[in-house]
Structure 1
Amino acid sequence: MKTYFTLLILMISLGVSAQGKDEKRERIKALKTAFITTELDLSSEESAKFWPIYNDFDDKQFEIRHQRMRALGKKIDGIDAMSDKDALAILNQMEDLDEELLQNKKKLISSLKPVISPKKIIKLKKAEDEFQRKLLKQFKDKGPRK
């Protein structure tokens, strides 16, 4: 029942399209928080320790991904005129950012081990994936913007 309620909130809130990017990001983050809280069934003690660790992780992941898009977006537009040397530099940069994302994920897991059970850490991964699927489905069902 809680999952359906969370999904209902997700659908309703994503329907509001007159928001800025930061507002949308914050709204999605709030929905993700509610979804993860429901899926993990955290105690108040676990929650008090879990959320500061998870929020730091999530903010860092966003920062890395945003940095990647900024750095690579402009360069990839001119790919046809790019030399192999420049393309190799971009590939190396992409690998470095992927490695940074992986290291951040490993840091999250090691930080969470004393806070929540290993089963809940696995449930976290499952909840993140499920939330992402539902979010993408919501955007897909919404159709192209005009």
Structure 2
Amino acid sequence: MKRLILILILLTSTLGFSQPGSEIQEKIKAQKIAFITDKLDLSSEEAQQFWPIYNEFEAKVETIKSEELRPLKKEMRQGNVSDKRANEILEKLMKAETAMFEAKQELLNDLKKVLPAKKIILLQVAEDQFNQKLLDRLKEFRERRQKRRN
């Protein structure tokens, strides 16, 4: 999941689309939905129950990242923090990571109510495969762009 967010940020910033809700982000999200639905072989009933749970999880994680983690990591990259501030940042990082872990636990518990365990495991595999596809596409895009520059 973390890699997907990173990939989305890299892809959108590389292409010049960093605004939330941009066309490229919407296209990626639609592709992800189709990819996961296919890989999990979700029935229409399963999909109706699965996607609201999954979307809520992704929204929680994105909120944690945008409101808590990104500002802290930005401050960390600036590097000029006191020991006291560094300890405060570490505490906040641990709190945010704990919140993300709890969101993942909640996701799994909620999914157990609507999907068989095998499909829940396949979800992780599908997410990893989708992330790899995005990375591959980003790499190809950069290579094509580099060739055009030369």
Q: TM-score range by the shorter chain?
A: 0.7 to 0.9
Alpha-carbon contact 2:69-2:93 (below 8 Å) kept: no
2:117 paired residue number? 118
Q: Distance in 1 between matches of 2:47 and 2:81?
A: 49
TM-score (norm 1): 0.79
RMSD: 2.1
Deviation at 1:69, TM superposition (A): 4.3
1:10 paired residue number? none
Q: Distance in 2 between matches of 1:130 and 1:68?
A: 27
Deviation at 1:46, TM superposition (A): 0.7
Confirm or deny that 1:63 pairs with 2:77.
no
Please, which moves more after superposition, 44-53 or 136-145?
136-145
1:130 paired residue number? 129
Please, which moves more after superposition, 85-94 or 66-75?
66-75
1:99 paired residue number? 98
Confirm or deny that 1:31 pairs with 2:31.
yes
User: What whole-Å deviation, never above 9, does each CA across 1:62-113 have from its counterpart, x for those lacking one?
Assistant: 121222344214412431x311111111111111111111110110000011
Q: Distance in 1 between matches of 2:94 and 2:130?
A: 26
2:9 paired residue number? none
1:109 paired residue number? 108
Alignment-mate amino acid for residue 46 of structure 1: E
Confirm or deny that 1:84 pairs with 2:83.
yes
1:45 paired residue number? 45
Q: Distance in 2 between matches of 1:54 and 1:28?
A: 16
Alignment-mate amino acid for residue 123 of structure 1: L
Structure 2 unmatched runs, 5+: 1-11
Q: Distance in 2 between matches of 1:78 and 1:49?
A: 43
Q: Distance in 2 between matches of 1:50 and 1:112?
A: 7
User: What whole-Å deviation, never above 9, does each CA across 1:11-38 have from its counterpart, x for those lacking one?
Assistant: xxx9xx4655322222211111010000
Q: Distance in 1 between matches of 2:42 and 2:116?
A: 10
TM-score (norm 2): 0.77
Q: Distance in 2 between matches of 1:96 and 1:85?
A: 17
Structure 1 unmatched runs, 5+: 1-13
Alignment-mate amino acid for residue 72 of structure 1: L
Between the two proteins, what is the percent identity of the paired residues?
41
